[in-house]
Amino acid sequence: MSNWFTYFGTELLGSMLLIILGNGVVANVLLKGTSAYKNANFLMIALGWGFAVGIGALVASALGGVAQLNPAVTLAFVVNNWTKNVGSWNLLPIIIIGQALGFLLGQIIVDLVYSHQIVACFARAKKDFATENTQPVLAMHATVPQTKVTWSNFLMEFVGTAVLIITILGVGKLGIANGMTFVTPLLVMIVVMAIGCSLSGTTGYAINPFRDLMPRLVYQGLLSTSFGRKGLNADWKYSWVPVVAPLTAGAIVGACFLI
Protein backbone atom coordinates (compact mmCIF):
# COMPACT_ATOMS: atom_id res chain seq x y z
CA MET A 1 0.00 0.00 0.00
CA SER A 2 2.89 2.37 0.73
CA ASN A 3 4.11 1.89 -2.86
CA TRP A 4 0.61 2.69 -4.11
CA PHE A 5 0.56 6.02 -2.30
CA THR A 6 4.17 6.81 -3.15
CA TYR A 7 3.95 6.23 -6.89
CA PHE A 8 0.49 7.71 -7.30
CA GLY A 9 1.21 10.74 -5.15
CA THR A 10 4.64 11.54 -6.58
CA GLU A 11 3.50 11.17 -10.20
CA LEU A 12 0.50 13.40 -9.51
CA LEU A 13 2.53 16.05 -7.70
CA GLY A 14 5.42 16.00 -10.16
CA SER A 15 3.12 16.18 -13.19
CA MET A 16 1.15 19.00 -11.60
CA LEU A 17 4.30 21.04 -10.93
CA LEU A 18 5.53 20.31 -14.45
CA ILE A 19 2.43 21.66 -16.19
CA ILE A 20 1.99 24.62 -13.83
CA LEU A 21 5.50 25.86 -14.60
CA GLY A 22 5.56 24.68 -18.24
CA ASN A 23 2.28 26.06 -19.51
CA GLY A 24 2.63 28.89 -17.02
CA VAL A 25 5.64 30.25 -18.90
CA VAL A 26 3.76 29.94 -22.21
CA ALA A 27 0.84 31.91 -20.75
CA ASN A 28 3.20 34.56 -19.38
CA VAL A 29 4.79 35.04 -22.80
CA LEU A 30 1.72 34.86 -25.05
CA LEU A 31 -1.19 36.38 -23.14
CA LYS A 32 -1.75 40.12 -23.45
CA GLY A 33 -1.55 41.89 -20.11
CA THR A 34 1.18 39.76 -18.54
CA SER A 35 4.60 40.93 -17.39
CA ALA A 36 6.44 39.05 -20.13
CA TYR A 37 4.06 39.90 -23.00
CA LYS A 38 6.13 41.45 -25.84
CA ASN A 39 9.17 41.46 -23.53
CA ALA A 40 10.16 37.81 -23.95
CA ASN A 41 10.90 35.41 -26.78
CA PHE A 42 10.81 31.73 -27.59
CA LEU A 43 14.02 31.08 -25.66
CA MET A 44 12.19 31.92 -22.42
CA ILE A 45 9.63 29.23 -23.22
CA ALA A 46 12.29 26.63 -24.04
CA LEU A 47 14.20 27.37 -20.83
CA GLY A 48 11.01 27.54 -18.78
CA TRP A 49 9.85 24.16 -20.01
CA GLY A 50 13.20 22.63 -19.20
CA PHE A 51 13.08 24.00 -15.66
CA ALA A 52 9.47 22.80 -15.34
CA VAL A 53 10.30 19.21 -16.23
CA GLY A 54 13.44 19.23 -14.10
CA ILE A 55 11.67 20.57 -11.01
CA GLY A 56 8.73 18.18 -11.37
CA ALA A 57 11.04 15.18 -11.77
CA LEU A 58 13.35 16.29 -8.97
CA VAL A 59 10.50 16.64 -6.46
CA ALA A 60 8.93 13.31 -7.46
CA SER A 61 12.28 11.53 -7.26
CA ALA A 62 13.23 13.10 -3.93
CA LEU A 63 9.93 11.91 -2.43
CA GLY A 64 10.67 8.31 -3.44
CA GLY A 65 8.80 8.04 -6.73
CA VAL A 66 9.94 6.91 -10.16
CA ALA A 67 9.55 10.46 -11.50
CA GLN A 68 8.48 9.42 -14.99
CA LEU A 69 5.73 12.07 -15.38
CA ASN A 70 5.14 10.96 -18.96
CA PRO A 71 3.20 7.91 -20.23
CA ALA A 72 5.64 7.60 -23.13
CA VAL A 73 8.50 7.25 -20.65
CA THR A 74 6.44 4.82 -18.59
CA LEU A 75 5.77 2.75 -21.72
CA ALA A 76 9.48 2.72 -22.54
CA PHE A 77 10.24 1.31 -19.09
CA VAL A 78 7.46 -1.25 -19.46
CA VAL A 79 8.83 -2.48 -22.77
CA ASN A 80 12.43 -2.33 -21.55
CA ASN A 81 11.98 -4.16 -18.26
CA TRP A 82 9.21 -3.08 -15.95
CA THR A 83 9.97 -5.49 -13.10
CA LYS A 84 13.55 -4.32 -12.93
CA ASN A 85 12.75 -0.62 -12.93
CA VAL A 86 9.66 -0.49 -10.73
CA GLY A 87 8.89 -3.90 -9.36
CA SER A 88 5.21 -4.46 -9.98
CA TRP A 89 2.89 -4.42 -12.98
CA ASN A 90 0.09 -3.64 -10.53
CA LEU A 91 1.51 -0.15 -10.11
CA LEU A 92 1.25 0.67 -13.82
CA PRO A 93 -2.36 1.97 -13.78
CA ILE A 94 -1.64 3.89 -10.57
CA ILE A 95 1.25 5.71 -12.21
CA ILE A 96 -0.74 6.49 -15.38
CA ILE A 97 -3.75 7.78 -13.42
CA GLY A 98 -1.47 9.90 -11.23
CA GLN A 99 0.10 11.47 -14.28
CA ALA A 100 -3.25 12.20 -15.93
CA LEU A 101 -4.75 13.79 -12.82
CA GLY A 102 -1.58 15.79 -12.20
CA PHE A 103 -1.65 17.37 -15.63
CA LEU A 104 -5.38 18.03 -15.39
CA LEU A 105 -5.21 19.69 -11.97
CA GLY A 106 -2.06 21.60 -12.88
CA GLN A 107 -3.66 23.12 -15.96
CA ILE A 108 -6.72 24.18 -13.98
CA ILE A 109 -4.38 25.98 -11.56
CA VAL A 110 -2.63 27.74 -14.46
CA ASP A 111 -6.00 28.86 -15.81
CA LEU A 112 -7.01 30.22 -12.42
CA VAL A 113 -3.75 32.16 -12.12
CA TYR A 114 -4.20 33.67 -15.59
CA SER A 115 -8.00 33.81 -15.52
CA HIS A 116 -8.17 37.59 -16.02
CA GLN A 117 -6.01 37.46 -19.16
CA ILE A 118 -7.94 34.46 -20.53
CA VAL A 119 -11.30 36.15 -20.00
CA ALA A 120 -10.01 39.31 -21.68
CA CYS A 121 -8.71 37.31 -24.65
CA PHE A 122 -12.05 35.57 -25.13
CA ALA A 123 -13.88 38.90 -24.77
CA ARG A 124 -11.81 40.43 -27.58
CA ALA A 125 -12.49 37.39 -29.77
CA LYS A 126 -16.24 37.73 -29.23
CA LYS A 127 -16.20 41.47 -29.88
CA ASP A 128 -14.25 41.17 -33.12
CA PHE A 129 -16.02 37.97 -34.21
CA ALA A 130 -12.54 36.57 -34.70
CA THR A 131 -12.35 33.22 -32.97
CA GLU A 132 -8.78 32.79 -34.22
CA ASN A 133 -7.86 35.35 -31.57
CA THR A 134 -8.28 32.58 -29.03
CA GLN A 135 -5.05 30.99 -30.32
CA PRO A 136 -2.87 32.31 -27.46
CA VAL A 137 -5.17 30.58 -24.99
CA LEU A 138 -5.01 27.33 -26.98
CA ALA A 139 -1.21 27.62 -27.09
CA MET A 140 -0.99 27.90 -23.30
CA HIS A 141 -2.85 24.59 -23.08
CA ALA A 142 -1.82 22.38 -25.99
CA THR A 143 0.68 22.27 -28.82
CA VAL A 144 -0.10 24.19 -31.99
CA PRO A 145 1.86 23.21 -35.14
CA GLN A 146 3.23 26.03 -37.23
CA THR A 147 2.29 24.15 -40.39
CA LYS A 148 0.01 21.13 -40.36
CA VAL A 149 1.92 18.51 -42.32
CA THR A 150 0.99 15.25 -40.63
CA TRP A 151 4.08 13.19 -41.42
CA SER A 152 6.43 16.06 -40.50
CA ASN A 153 4.57 16.86 -37.29
CA PHE A 154 4.52 13.17 -36.32
CA LEU A 155 8.25 12.82 -37.08
CA MET A 156 9.14 15.82 -34.91
CA GLU A 157 7.19 14.51 -31.94
CA PHE A 158 8.65 11.04 -32.46
CA VAL A 159 12.25 12.24 -32.71
CA GLY A 160 11.91 14.68 -29.81
CA THR A 161 10.44 11.99 -27.56
CA ALA A 162 13.06 9.48 -28.67
CA VAL A 163 15.86 11.88 -27.70
CA LEU A 164 14.26 12.35 -24.28
CA ILE A 165 13.83 8.63 -23.62
CA ILE A 166 17.27 7.70 -24.94
CA THR A 167 18.73 10.14 -22.43
CA ILE A 168 16.69 8.74 -19.53
CA LEU A 169 17.34 5.08 -20.34
CA GLY A 170 20.95 5.76 -21.24
CA VAL A 171 21.64 7.35 -17.88
CA GLY A 172 19.98 4.39 -16.19
CA LYS A 173 22.03 1.86 -18.15
CA LEU A 174 25.26 3.62 -17.27
CA GLY A 175 24.31 3.65 -13.61
CA ILE A 176 25.31 7.31 -13.32
CA ALA A 177 22.36 8.19 -11.11
CA ASN A 178 22.72 5.35 -8.60
CA GLY A 179 22.40 6.85 -5.16
CA MET A 180 22.06 10.39 -6.56
CA THR A 181 18.38 11.22 -7.03
CA PHE A 182 19.14 14.68 -8.40
CA VAL A 183 21.29 13.62 -11.37
CA THR A 184 18.67 12.22 -13.75
CA PRO A 185 16.17 15.10 -13.23
CA LEU A 186 18.92 17.63 -13.96
CA LEU A 187 19.95 15.79 -17.12
CA VAL A 188 16.30 15.56 -18.19
CA MET A 189 15.97 19.31 -17.63
CA ILE A 190 18.94 19.94 -19.90
CA VAL A 191 17.73 17.62 -22.65
CA VAL A 192 14.23 19.16 -22.62
CA MET A 193 15.82 22.58 -23.06
CA ALA A 194 17.91 21.21 -25.92
CA ILE A 195 14.85 19.66 -27.59
CA GLY A 196 13.00 22.95 -27.23
CA CYS A 197 15.81 24.93 -28.80
CA SER A 198 16.55 22.44 -31.59
CA LEU A 199 13.46 20.44 -32.51
CA SER A 200 10.37 22.39 -31.53
CA GLY A 201 10.04 24.63 -34.56
CA THR A 202 7.27 22.70 -36.29
CA THR A 203 4.97 21.49 -33.52
CA GLY A 204 5.85 23.18 -30.23
CA TYR A 205 7.10 19.80 -28.91
CA ALA A 206 4.66 17.99 -26.67
CA ILE A 207 6.91 14.89 -26.31
CA ASN A 208 4.39 13.78 -23.69
CA PRO A 209 0.83 12.59 -24.46
CA PHE A 210 -0.72 13.83 -21.21
CA ARG A 211 1.09 17.17 -21.37
CA ASP A 212 -1.00 17.85 -24.49
CA LEU A 213 -4.18 15.82 -23.99
CA MET A 214 -5.23 16.82 -20.48
CA PRO A 215 -4.77 20.60 -20.92
CA ARG A 216 -6.53 20.32 -24.30
CA LEU A 217 -9.54 18.86 -22.47
CA VAL A 218 -9.46 21.83 -20.08
CA TYR A 219 -9.33 24.23 -23.05
CA GLN A 220 -12.34 22.54 -24.64
CA GLY A 221 -14.20 23.13 -21.40
CA LEU A 222 -13.27 26.82 -21.51
CA LEU A 223 -14.55 27.11 -25.08
CA SER A 224 -17.82 25.41 -24.25
CA THR A 225 -18.33 27.72 -21.27
CA SER A 226 -17.37 30.92 -23.10
CA PHE A 227 -18.69 30.42 -26.60
CA GLY A 228 -21.39 27.77 -26.25
CA ARG A 229 -22.23 25.61 -29.24
CA LYS A 230 -20.54 27.55 -32.04
CA GLY A 231 -18.46 24.83 -33.61
CA LEU A 232 -15.30 25.81 -31.78
CA ASN A 233 -13.06 23.00 -30.61
CA ALA A 234 -9.59 22.38 -29.32
CA ASP A 235 -8.23 21.24 -32.70
CA TRP A 236 -9.04 17.59 -32.04
CA LYS A 237 -8.18 16.64 -35.64
CA TYR A 238 -4.53 17.29 -34.81
CA SER A 239 -4.61 16.09 -31.21
CA TRP A 240 -3.79 12.45 -32.02
CA VAL A 241 -0.28 13.38 -33.23
CA PRO A 242 1.15 14.53 -29.85
CA VAL A 243 -0.40 11.45 -28.27
CA VAL A 244 0.45 8.65 -30.69
CA ALA A 245 3.91 9.83 -31.79
CA PRO A 246 5.42 9.97 -28.26
CA LEU A 247 3.87 6.61 -27.32
CA THR A 248 5.29 5.07 -30.50
CA ALA A 249 8.72 6.47 -29.68
CA GLY A 250 8.46 5.11 -26.14
CA ALA A 251 7.66 1.60 -27.34
CA ILE A 252 10.38 1.52 -30.01
CA VAL A 253 13.15 3.08 -27.91
CA GLY A 254 12.27 0.87 -24.95
CA ALA A 255 12.54 -2.20 -27.18
CA CYS A 256 15.85 -1.04 -28.67
CA PHE A 257 17.42 -0.78 -25.21
CA LEU A 258 16.79 -4.51 -24.73
CA ILE A 259 19.45 -5.24 -27.32
Q: What is the pLDDT of residues 200-259, one digit of tens each?
A: 888 889 999 999 999 999 999 988 887 765 657 789 999 999 999 999 999 999 988 876
Instruction: Indicate if the pLDDT at residue 101 is higher than 90.
Output: yes
* DSSP output for the chain: -HHHHHHHHHHHHHHHHHHHHHHHHHHHHHSTTSTTTTT--HHHHHHHHHHHHHHHHHHHHHTTS----SHHHHHHHHHHHHHHHTS-GGGHHHHHHHHHHHHHHHHHHHHHHTHHHHHHHHHHHHHHT-GGGGHHHHHTTS---SS--HHHHHHHHHHHHHHHHHHHHHHHHHTTTTT-TTHHHHHHHHHHHHHHHHH-TTT----SHHHHHHHHHHHHHHHHHHH-SSS--S-TTTTTHHHHHHHHHHHHHHHHTT-
Q: What is the pTM of this model?
A: 0.91
Taken in order of first residue, the domains within the chain and their CATH numbers are: 2-256 (1.20.1080.10)
Q: What is the pLDDT of residues 19-54, one digit of tens each?
A: 999 999 999 999 988 888 777 788 899 999 999 999
